[in-house]
Amino acid sequence: MTKPIVAIVGRPNVGKSTIFNRIVGERISIVEDVPGVTRDRIYSPAEWLNHEFNLIDTGGIDIGDEPFLEQIRQQAEIAMDEADVIIFLVNGREGVTAADEQVAKILYRTKKPVVLGVNKIDNPDMQSMIYDFYSLGFGEPFPISGSHGLGLGDLLDEVVRSFPENEEEKIEDDVIRFSLIGRPNVGKSSLTNVFLGEERVIVSDIAGTTRDAIDSDFVHDGQKYKVIDTAGMRKKGKVYESTEKYSVLRALRAIERSDVVLVVLNGEEGIREQDKRIAGYAHDAGRGVIIVVNKWDAVEKDEKTMNRMTEEIRKNFQFLDYAPIVFVSAKTKQRVLAILETVNMVSENHTLRIQSSILNEVIEDAVTRNPAPSDKGRKLRIYYMTQVQVKPPTFVVFVNDPEIMHFSYERFLQNKLREAFGFEGTPIRLITRKRS
């Protein structure tokens, strides 16, 4: 399922980050909380009335030393490239400013829906201040107050109404969809070209989408694959392309549309902070993950080099302890096609279903050997477990009282599941529910 992307745009100080934090709120995730995943303030999953989406604060993307107007212009461009719906935010107390008009002028070029939010309308007396903003040409302005949390419901209703209809692509079961993500220049395009160069290439626009991504289909050893384009990977050149936060955003959409994500590292340069952030998104999104160390040809090696690099990766990507690591070279093509065998394996694990009877044998055995500790004098009783979902495999464990299920015991059960069924390359999720 692809989540729509919503971006907030507007000149500085109108309240973008305040609104961002309001909408994102204290979102309690069912996703396991893993230390080491650094959250990027500019992007977060969010939801409104059962509609899940990803929210971007473009104000947080800082674009070098560009002058003020150039920064706003580029942030608006990014929103137009990456988002499905744009929230254009202005400051109701200041009226329409020249900078607002600049932003509007850029946004006129987009075919994507733009919802106009007039912020800092902190009380009903101020409602009349919004009329000025009709002149921006984006229809009805929505009065809101970020600091007081007013009006956000109406604004979000409109945002959700504007989501692209049936953006859902027809997903063919027998095709494995994968993407390559990573910092600029790690070799994503080169690797893609090796995959595609070796086989008959069918490049297809995705008809009917607002997205200008280009995916490529190919067949290898009888298996069909789709390489998901990391938006614009093959049409480089915009100024903001090289900024760190933008490459993270660019990865986002590709991750959403993939079954398996190849996190590409530059073997020559080693691991950077940014690599961890990008990989963190793949993990959070519940996709299968393979760590690909590219440019291995350029690394001076002895017999220990590979082990040392593996250790480095395990230390830095603790949350990806399930991900296989492969060492390749796009330049010499060494081991690149072998990645596909790993993709097959990971995809299989990502869609693996375990029969309830077998599952419960494993759980019973685990609980007998290591009973759940009591908490506040109450004893946790585990009744049974069932798998409710694949991609990633998701299990619900029914207990007498979820409150006394301890994080470490959940971890223990997850480890038992991995011991029994492997699940190499895929995250697994465990949800604790009260048996009613």
Q: Is 185 in the site for ligand GDP (CB under 6 A)?
A: yes
Question: Does the annotation place 16 within a ligand binding site?
Answer: yes
Say whether 294 counts as a known binding-site residue.
Answer: yes
- Piece of 107-115, 180-188, 337-345, 396-404 that binds ligand GDP (CB under 6 A): 180-188
How far is CA 429 from its chain centroid? 16
Interaction of residue 186 with ligand GDP, rule CB under 6 A: yes
Q: Select the residue interacting with ligand GDP from 12, 95, 137, 373 (CB under 6 A).
A: 12
Residue 274 engages ligand GDP in binding (rule: CB under 6 A):
no
Nearest to 317 by CA among 36, 53, 69: 36
User: Which residues, in sequence order, are bridge partners of residue 181?
Assistant: 263
Angle between helices 407-421 and 356-369 (to 10 degrees): 130
Scored b (16 or more CB within 10 A) or e, 176-205 reads: bbbbbbbbeebbbebbbbbbbeebeeeeee
**Closer Cβ to ligand GDP, 58 or 342, answer by number:** 58
Q: How far is the CB of 117 from ligand GDP (least distance, A)?
A: 10
Q: Which is nearer to ligand GDP, 16 or 211 (CB)?
A: 16
- Rank residues 22 and 418 by Cβ distance to ligand GDP and give the closer one: 22
Interaction pattern, residues 214-233, with ligand GDP; x per rule: CB under 6 A: -------------------x
What radius of gyration, in Å, describes the C-alpha atoms of the chain?
Answer: 24
Which pair of tokens denotes residue 281? 């998104």
* 17 has binding-site annotation: yes
Query: Phi/psi zone of residue 166: left (φ > 0), alpha (ψ -120 to 50 degrees), beta?
Result: left
- CB burial class (10 A; 0-12, 13-18, 19+) of residue 334? middle
Q: Rounded distance, CA 142 to CA 133, Å?
A: 10
Residue 62 binds ligand GDP, judged by CB under 6 A? no
Nearer of residues 102 and 387 to ligand GDP, judged by Cβ: 102
Pick the stretch among 282-290, 291-299, 316-324, 424-432 that binds ligand GDP (CB under 6 A).
291-299
Under the binding rule (CB under 6 A), the answer on residue 297 touching ligand GDP is yes
Q: How many other C-beta atoms lie within 10 A of the C-beta of residue 29?
A: 8
- 184 annotated ligand binder: yes
- Through-space distance between the first and last CA atoms of the chain, rounded to whole angstroms: 30
**Known binding-site positions for GTP:** 10-17, 57-61, 119-122, 182-189, 229-233, 294-297
Give the interface with ligand GDP as residue ranges (CB under 6 A). 10, 12-18, 59, 119-120, 122, 145-147, 182, 184-190, 233, 294-295, 297-298, 329-331
